[in-house]
Amino acid sequence: MKILLLVSAFNSLTQRVFTELQDMQYQVSVQYAVNDKEMIEEVQRFKPDIIFSPYLKKYIPKEIYLKIPTFILHPGIRGDRGHNSLDHALHDNKKEWGVVILKANEEFDGGDIYSEVHFKMRDTTKSSIYRNEVANATSKALQELLRNYNDKDFTPLPQIKAPLHHYLTQEDRSIDWEKDTSKEIIKKIRFSDSYPGVKDELLGVECYLYGAWHEERLKANPKEIIAKRNGAICIGTVDGAIWISHLKEITKFKLPSTYVLRDKIKGVKEERLPLMFDMSYRTFYEIGSYKDGDVAYLCFNFHNGAMHSEQCIRLKYAFEYLKEMLRN
């Protein structure tokens, strides 16, 4: 069977789907959903049996889905329709969420459902949920889609025609530093993580905020920057303080917070932790460890799962130190 992936970007989820389909011995091609003309031309060239879109931000032209069975992954449960589905799920404190694969038609997220997988939500960032729960659920849903597609007795579930939820704007995500608690601020940054971030202004720099962490011991006035560590800044709130690991200036790249504010935070204290933090209280850390009986665990939590060379070196040293400690 020949399967064409129509995607808006070749992200980690698309890569996983592509690899899994190849492992299942399918012939797979990828086409970026740049414009209708290029999508139609690739369909005519590749002549797929089915089309699957694991990550899509553009409508598929009807010239395609009316001729070829076309399926779209939606990171939401049956009845959820519209953009920012995962953002809304975190914003609304959903305890359970899921993914569906539905057949493309003229109605946005309105096609019949060919597979559905649910998962429990965690108190974490949107990007972490996407890379883990959503990715794992997608793998299961894709296998279920292929089974159901080949089952002549299968009857798809009709989508529940609920209203499209509204597109979350920066006004919905904005922080009121004089009113919002640490928990509320972290929640806003977490459901905006990866994209689009929370737009704000720090020390005169207009930027988007990413990578929020609770701080249990330090306190400061709202929006006062009182410490820095491994690229992150500690900033006061009405009930304590939080850490923000990354910032992105308007039209620029996302970078560690201390780099973006480097000329404006000279003299701010470097609040260091040991090479391996014991995770005994809530604060920002990248490398930690704990013991359970005779077993030692080394934990690392780099922003969005990516690490640069300095972080790799620290992780290597931490591993070697932990190994030597266990020998003694």
- What tokens appear for 225 in the block? 């920057």
| CB proximity list for 129: less than 8 A, separation 6 or greater | 86, 90, 97, 121, 122
Question: For position 156, what pLDDT does the model report?
Answer: 97
Q: Are 78 and 116 in contact (CB under 8 A)?
A: yes
What does the chain come to in residues? 328
47-51, 278-282, 324-328, range with the lowest pLDDT: 324-328
Task: Give the confidence band of 295 by pLDDT, cuts at 50, 70, 90.
Answer: confident
Is the pLDDT confidence value at 328 over 80?
A: no
Question: For position 60, what pLDDT does the model report?
Answer: 95
Alpha-carbon gap, residue 302 to 286, rounded angstroms: 6
Domains within the chain, CATH numbers bracketed:
2-150 (3.40.50.170), 172-260 (3.10.25.10), 287-327 (no CATH)
Question: For position 293, what pLDDT does the model report?
Answer: 85
Comparing CA positions, the residue from 141, 140, 250 lying closest to residue 204 is 250
Is the pLDDT confidence value at 80 over 90?
A: yes
The DSSP symbol for 214 reads: E
3-state class (DSSP) for residue 161: coil
Average pLDDT over the chain, rounded to an integer: 95
Cβ atoms within 10 Å, residue 96: 10
Strand-pair category, 240-249 with 232-237: antiparallel
Q: Which residue type sits at 1?
A: M
Question: For position 234, what pLDDT does the model report?
Answer: 98
How confident is the model over 256-267, as a mean pLDDT?
96
Alpha-carbon gap, residue 228 to 249, rounded angstroms: 19
Question: For position 11, what pLDDT does the model report?
Answer: 92
How confident is the model over 254-266, as a mean pLDDT?
96
Question: For position 258, what pLDDT does the model report?
Answer: 98
How confident is the model over 287-310, as a mean pLDDT?
90
Question: For position 44, what pLDDT does the model report?
Answer: 96
Q: Are 322 and 276 in contact (CB under 8 A)?
A: yes
Task: Give the confidence band of 324 by pLDDT, cuts at 50, 70, 90.
Answer: confident
How confident is the model over 287-315, as a mean pLDDT?
91
Q: pLDDT tens across 114-131, in order?
A: 999 999 999 999 999 999
The DSSP symbol for 165 reads: P
Using alpha carbons only, how large is the chain's radius of gyration in Å? 23
Alpha helices in 119-245 (DSSP H): 126-129, 135-150, 170-173, 182-190
How confident is the model over 293-316, as a mean pLDDT?
91
Q: Are 243 and 283 in contact (CB under 8 A)?
A: yes
Q: pLDDT tens across 148-205, in order?
A: 999 999 999 999 999 999 999 999 999 999 999 999 999 999 999 989 999 999 999 9
Q: Are 198 and 175 in contact (CB under 8 A)?
A: yes
Question: For position 276, what pLDDT does the model report?
Answer: 87
Backbone angles phi, psi at 144, to 5 degrees: -65, -40
222 burial (CB, 10 Å; 0-12 / 13-18 / 19+) is middle
Cis amide leading into 196 (omega within 30) = yes
